Structures are given as structure tokens and as C-alpha cells.
Amino acid sequence: MRRMGRLDSIDDLRVFDAIVRAGSLSGAAQDLDVSLTLVSKRLKRLEAQLGVRLLQRTTRQLGLTEEGQEFLGRCRVALDAIQAAEEVCGDGASGIVRVTATAAFAQRQIAPRLPRFLARHPGISVQILTSDDVLDLVERRIDVAMRQAPLVDSRLIARALVPDARVLCASPAYLARAGTPRDPFDLVGHACLTVGDPAPTQWQLWRGEEAAAVPIRSAAGGNDGEICHVAALADLGIAMKAAWDVVDDVRAGRLVRILPEWWGGTDRWVRIVYPARLHQPRRVRAFIAFMEDEMTQALAASADLGLFEGAALAKLQPRIEAARCRTGSGLAEAEPG
């Protein structure tokens, strides 16, 4: 990179970062709630001070130059450090926490808990981006992700939050009509509710080291797991769902866990994932600590439902016992989900 002039505006760095995140000058203007003219002016000034072109602009797309890519990394380190310095002088956590999770997890496990979080931290607002895809946290400037998929990005840090599992469940009315499967291969004669396009023709189940590939007939399904969830509640058939998606339905008796010794996957966890930073913003630390506490309490309240494997529960037993002590009873009342 060439010798540059003196940078004299933090806001120019924030505008550049916003342009890259939004993918356009107009998108950055909208995100920052400023005029397009101001965004363009600040970008031109920044490039003039650096003596290089940061962005390659055409009528259809905008991309980083080689110098722009290098500067972006240093720019974001500087913005993180500035934010940490600003927080030292503040009287509490503030700003926006950007969170991503699947729609089901966000609706059932994050959104109902937001009133408690925001009451404790009135200076923070939470923005939730729901997606079944693994979003690029760094590029999208997302602070926290709640994920079940293994971590493959070295720029991120992941911590196991609570165990998860894929379980088979159906409504009491469906089981009364069609019978309760006693063996995995009993599923062959049942209406199964599936996720995927095309619909899967078998379910893979495990009991310890024993595996069973069971042929199934998809009675209904789609590419969104909520379709088979709603269909199961409507007495249409048997669904394989993540435990945290159905925990409240099982507790309330709307759904029944079937084949309790068999699992649709092994060693599954909900992980809390965030970008590796030198300075983790106070607002992000507050949200992570809150969700760890909330989900541990929810796990303590749900440990007797048969939705989580014993080995996974054993790993977190100290945390579960501590959560039970905080609630003041052996089993806490169910958190809304």
C-alpha cells in the first residue's frame, strides 16, 4: 500500500465498513440513515487521503480492490478498538447486537427472552437475522450466531452452549389413530413429515453405536422445518425435529416423544458463535452471558423430558445444578419458547 496521508475522521472508516457490509453506497446510506451524497463524499475523501482506490465500482457491482481488502481488515480492527475505548467511558452496555439463528430457534428460544434482556440493558437493542443457511458473520457484521452446525471458519470462536438432539415425535391424537411405533422399522407403515426437497426416503437413527437406516414415506413436508412441525401438531404424522424446537410442545403434551432410545444424530449441541476480536464489545458480552444463563436454566427445567441424551446432560451437570439453585427449586418452571 502506498504512503498515505493522515486519516482524520473515524466516521470515514465507519462509512467504508458500512459500504462493504451493504454491498453498495445506497445500502450504506440507508443503514447509516444518511444521504447517498454524504456516503459518496466520505468515500472519496478516504481514498484521497490514502492515495489508493479502495473500491472498484461499475454500473452493476461493487468490489474491493486488493488495497481495499487489506485496508478493510485494518479498518475493522481499528473500529473494534475505538468501540472498546468508547465503552470504557460509558456507564453501561449500549448499541445494537446483531444475532443470527434459524427461524425456529429465534422464535422459540430468543425472542421470548428479549423482554428480560432489554429490561436489564435498556441501552441495547437486538436485531435478529433468521436463516437456515450459515451466514458469514464477519462480512455481515453479525455479533453472535446460535448454531448447531460444526465450526469451519477460523475467524470465529464457538462455545458449546447446551446439548441438542433430533427426536421423533407425534401428537397424541395421531398415535391414538395410527398406533405408537415400538421399533424403528415400524415407521415404514406410518405417515412421516419430512424436511428437504426432494423429500428424503429414509431416516437414519442411532442407539448408541447401533445405526438403523429406515425407509419412510413422506406424507407431507417442505424445505422449511416449520411445515412438518405444524403438520405434527395438526395430527398429520411423525416428525423428526430438533429438541429445542419441540421442548415446549412435549412439556405441554401437544407432542409425544416416540422411540425414546433412538436419536436422529449423535453429540449435537447448540453453539454460540462469534467473530474473534481483540475487544469484544460490552453489549455482545452481555448478550452472550444472558443467553448462557437462560438456556442453562431452560435445560435444567427440561432435563426430565427425555429430549436430551444422558451423556450430554452429564457434561453440564454442574451448570444444571447451579441453574436449579438459582431458580430456587429442583425443576424450574418452563421458560417461554
What single string gives the DSSP state of each residue in 72-100?
HHHHHHHHHHHHHHHHHTSSS--EEEEEE
In a domain, 3, yes or no: no
Mean pLDDT of the chain: 86
- State the pLDDT at residue 19: 87
In a domain, 15, yes or no: yes
Q: Which residues pair with 207 in a beta bridge?
A: 210
**Do 246 and 108 meet the contact criterion of CB atoms below 8 Å apart?**
no
Q: Which CATH number does the domain housing residue 291 bear?
A: 3.40.190.10
Question: Of the residues 229, 258, 287, which one is the last residue of a structural domain?
Answer: 258
Q: Is the pLDDT of residue 2 over 50?
A: no
Q: Which long-range contacts (CB under 8 A, 24 or more apart) does 149-153 make?
A: 151/271, 151/273
- State the pLDDT at residue 328: 58
Residues 275 and 154 in one domain: yes
In a domain, 335, yes or no: no
- State the pLDDT at residue 239: 97
Higher pLDDT, residue 31 or 101: 101
- State the pLDDT at residue 261: 95
Q: Where are the alpha helices (DSSP H) in 23-171?
A: 25-32, 36-50, 66-88, 103-105, 114-120
Q: Is the pLDDT of residue 5 over 60?
A: no
Residues 75 and 105 in one domain: no
Residues 172 and 249 in one domain: yes
Q: Please give the average per-residue pLDDT across 329-337, as a whole number.
A: 42
Q: Which of 9-18, 88-97, 137-146, 216-225 has the highest mean pLDDT?
A: 216-225
- Bridge-based pairing state of the strands 156-164 and 268-275: antiparallel
**Burial group, residue 276, by CB count within 10 angstroms (0-12, 13-18, 19+):** exposed
Question: Of the residues 50, 71, 88, which one is the last residue of a structural domain?
Answer: 88
The total of structural domains in the chain comes to 3
In a domain, 68, yes or no: yes
Q: Which of 126-130, 155-159, 223-227 has the highest mean pLDDT?
A: 126-130
- Cα 198 to its chain centre, rounded Å, is 25
Q: Cis check for the bond before 200: say yes or no (omega within 30 of 0).
A: no
In a domain, 333, yes or no: no
Residue-number span of the structural domain to which 292 is assigned: 95-165+268-327
User: Over the stretch 11-50, which tens digit does the pLDDT of each residue have?
Assistant: 888 888 888 877 888 888 887 778 899 999 999 999 988 8
Q: Which long-range contacts (CB under 8 A, 24 or more apart) does 222-225 make?
A: 222/195, 222/197, 223/195, 223/196, 223/197, 224/103, 224/132, 224/195, 225/102, 225/104, 225/132, 225/195
User: Over the stretch 250-261, which tens digit does the pLDDT of each residue have?
Assistant: 999 999 999 999
Q: Which residues contact 227 (CB under 8 A, 6 or more apart)?
A: 193, 195, 220, 221
Residues 101 and 172 in one domain: no
CA dist 303 and 224 (Å) reads: 27
Q: Which residues contact 34 (CB under 8 A, 6 or more apart)?
A: none
Task: Look at residue 67 and give its three-state secondary structure.
Answer: helix
Residues 285 and 156 in one domain: yes
Q: Which CATH number does the domain housing residue 195 bear?
A: 3.40.190.290
Residues 170 and 108 in one domain: no
Q: Is the pLDDT of residue 135 over 70?
A: yes
C-alpha cell at 215: 425407509
User: Over the stretch 203-232, which tens digit does the pLDDT of each residue have?
Assistant: 999 998 899 999 999 999 998 889 999 999
- State the pLDDT at residue 331: 41
Query: Which residue, chain included where needed, has cell 422464535?
Result: 107
In a domain, 140, yes or no: yes
- Angle among Cα 260, 267, 305 to the nearest 5 degrees reads 35
First to last CA, the chain: 51
Question: Of the residues 258, 277, 309, which one is the last residue of a structural domain?
Answer: 258
Q: How confident is the model at residue 334 (pLDDT cuts 50, 70, 90)?
A: very low
In a domain, 2, yes or no: no
Residues 108 and 81 in one domain: no
CA dist 238 and 247 (Å) reads: 16
Q: Is the pLDDT of residue 91 over 60?
A: no
Give pTM, 2 decimals: 0.71
Q: Which CATH number does the domain housing residue 36 bear?
A: 1.10.10.10
Residues 157 and 170 in one domain: no
Q: Which residues pair with 271 in a beta bridge?
A: 147, 160
Residues 25 and 145 in one domain: no
Residues 210 and 127 in one domain: no
In a domain, 105, yes or no: yes
Question: CA nearest 34: which of 52, 12, 57?
Answer: 12
